[in-house]
Amino acid sequence: MSTLWKGCDYIKYYISALHPLKDFMEIIQENKPLYILETFFNGKQECDFKKNLAAKEFMLDSGAFTFMNSKSNVKAEQIEEYLHNYCKYIKQSNISNFIEMDLDCIFGYEQVKSWRKQIEKETNKQVIPVWHKSRGIEDYKKTLKEYNYIAIGGFAIKEIKQKEFDNIRKMVRFAFLNGKKIHALGYSRKDILTYNFYSVDSASWKIQAALGGMLYKFSDNTIKIINVKKDGYKTDIKKLKCCNLKEIIKYQYYLDTK
């Protein structure tokens, strides 16, 4: 059991979606990322490489949701096999930070809790539970009593609405005051410094380049986003992704030392 977190003046910003890695090697060789999040769905070799690449810490996501969407009519034994392989990798590779299989929307919360216990039994370590608003505030408080590090999900898929962010702020503050750590899954908003998050992860640097032609620029201790996509002009998406990665790594370093 880890000691209670007493607060600090930095945020661990995990960069996700570093795939295919060959597209970003030049940037990474110049500026090594401090924190990296990878999904187990991408395979053990990819996870090993990212784990060794992270200058400070590595976080592993189960990738269970992607696994479910990659196949049709997934059977129970396939899920069990995936879970067992996930646990085996965590144990063999000595992964410290790993996320539960939060498939509430498919199998229900009771099954998720059963998997949580199974993961912890097989790894002999505490998993990072993922709170979803469907679980309710009482479950949030209960989970905080049992775990020192939990995640809040639903940001990336807009499960958490704009009007609910004040409540999230209060929840994170409550955890902070009780010495607990909160990780914001898929949190890309620029207001992260106004919360008491311990850590966040985001793939927006890559997604916004690919889908929206958005250029990231680290300036005045924040990320500024510029729309470079113009009618009649072709955007070099690969180059744009590399530029964004370079800037988000700068931001990562700032958040780690501010």
Say whether pLDDT at 7 is over 50: no
Six token digits for residue 92: 């063999």
User: Do the Cβ atoms of 100 and 129 come closer than 8 Å?
Assistant: yes
Q: CA 14 → CA 80, 106, 199, 231, distances in Å?
A: 28, 27, 7, 33
> pTM of the full predicted structure?
0.93
Reported as a single tens digit per residue, the pLDDT across 52-109 is 999 999 999 999 999 999 988 888 899 999 999 999 999 999 999 999 999 999 999 9
- What percentage of the chain has pLDDT greater than the value 90? 83
Q: How far apart are CA 252 and CA 209, in angstroms?
A: 18
Reported as a single tens digit per residue, the pLDDT across 206-230 is 999 998 899 999 999 999 999 987 7
Reported as a single tens digit per residue, the pLDDT across 145-188 is 999 999 999 998 889 999 999 999 999 999 999 999 999 999 98
- What is the DSSP secondary structure assignment for residue 190, as one 8-state letter? T
Give the pLDDT confidence score for residue 114 in this predicted structure. 97
Position 9 confidence tier, pLDDT thresholds 50, 70, 90: low
Six token digits for residue 141: 């408080």
Give the pLDDT confidence score for residue 6 in this predicted structure. 44
Give the pLDDT confidence score for residue 40 in this predicted structure. 98
Q: How far apart are CA 155 and CA 233, in angstroms?
A: 32
Domain 12-203 matching CATH 3.20.20.80: the answer reads no
Six token digits for residue 133: 């608003």
- What percentage of the chain has pLDDT greater than the value 70? 95
Burial zone of 217 (CB within 10 Å; 0-12 exposed, 13-18 middle, 19+ buried): middle
